[in-house]
Amino acid sequence: MENLDSDLLRTFVAVAEAGSVTGGAARIHRSQSATSLQIKRLESILGHPVFERHGRGVALSDTGRQLLPVAQEVTARLDTALRDISQTAVTGKLRIGIPDDHGRTKLAQIIAAFTRHHPQVELDVTCALSTGFPDALDKGSLDLAVYEVERPEQHEELLFADPTCWVSAAHREFQTDESLPVALFDHACWWRDVAITSLKDRGKPYRIAYSSQSVSGVIAAVEAGIAVGLLGRTSLHSGLSVVGEKLGFGNTPASKLVMAATSSSEAGPQDAMKTAIRTAFLTGD
């Protein structure tokens, strides 16, 4: 019986986190062909594909999803052992910003994974509305942040894209000829701007029936049946219905969750946190 080589697992993790063979190869400083050969070798040992190819990138197969947490744990433990033995443990302080709506499900996972492998790093975590995070990075009050944009810039690393849609409670029907009640964020942000633009493009009367500072507040209003709201598809459940086309809305852009960092902070803690954040958003809850 063949064994799983840690080098193959490290290559697999790099490609999985990068979302492409090219990106994974760059992370482990190997050629694309050598990286592809290692993935094929891993798949040969397992007897199953670990990725599904699409376009220019790859997505995890069922086998890949099963293997990823094991591969991450194995490679992380090896890295930790090397740091402990060679006395090159990551130290320092890191100030990070995580958006409130995503932070509720991801923050514990990120912090637990990070502190388990890097206990000597002091963390200062801001879990809040992310609209001010880019400015905080520019001013140097944050070292690393996750936030939403419509189009990522060159310095912003895409974590995932969430298509948006207009939704209502499944038990509630709104008429196209009435003044449509909507639930919006009560502050200037990407979600509010996109929603208002979409409402104006629809060209029909609407009224703001509910305002909230958080995604959970908008969802609560929609679930109660008092308004429609613009939400990401990851927020949908059986109690909500997509009503954009029915009510005459056009397509709305996907929300892009990105990660960005300053260039002045310590590279060790920053790189380690980037890995923890990538892993948390890649593997899900």
Give the model's pLDDT for residue 117: 74
The pLDDT score that the predictor gives to residue 96 is: 92
pLDDT at 270: 87
Q: Strand ranges (DSSP E) for the chain?
A: 51-54, 57-60, 92-99, 121-128, 144-149, 157-162, 164-169, 180-185, 206-212, 228-232, 240-242, 255-261
The pLDDT of residue 205 is 95
| Cα gap 66→62, rounded to integer Å | 6
Q: Quick one: 60 exposed, middle or buried, by C-beta within 10 A (0-12, 13-18, 19+)?
A: buried
- The CATH superfamily holding the domain 92-154+259-283 is Periplasmic binding protein-like II (3.40.190.10)
Burial 203-224 (b: 16+ CB within 10 A, else e): eeebeebbbbebbebbbebbbe
pLDDT for position 17: 86
CATH architecture of 6-86: Orthogonal Bundle (1.10)
What's the CATH number of domain 164-253, 1.10.357.10, 3.40.50.720, 3.30.450.20, 3.40.190.10? 3.40.190.10
pTM of the model: 0.63
pLDDT score, position 285: 44
Answer yes or no: are the C-beta atoms of 131 and 190 closer than 8 Å.
yes
| Domains 92-154+259-283 and 164-253 alike in fold | yes
Distance between CA 192 and CA 194 in Å, rounded? 6
Give 10-residue mean pLDDT values along the chain (285 residues).
Answer: 85 90 85 92 94 85 94 86 66 85 66 78 85 91 90 87 93 90 87 94 95 87 96 88 94 91 77 82 58
The three-class DSSP label of residue 28 is helix
Domain boundaries, the chain: 6-86, 92-154+259-283, 164-253
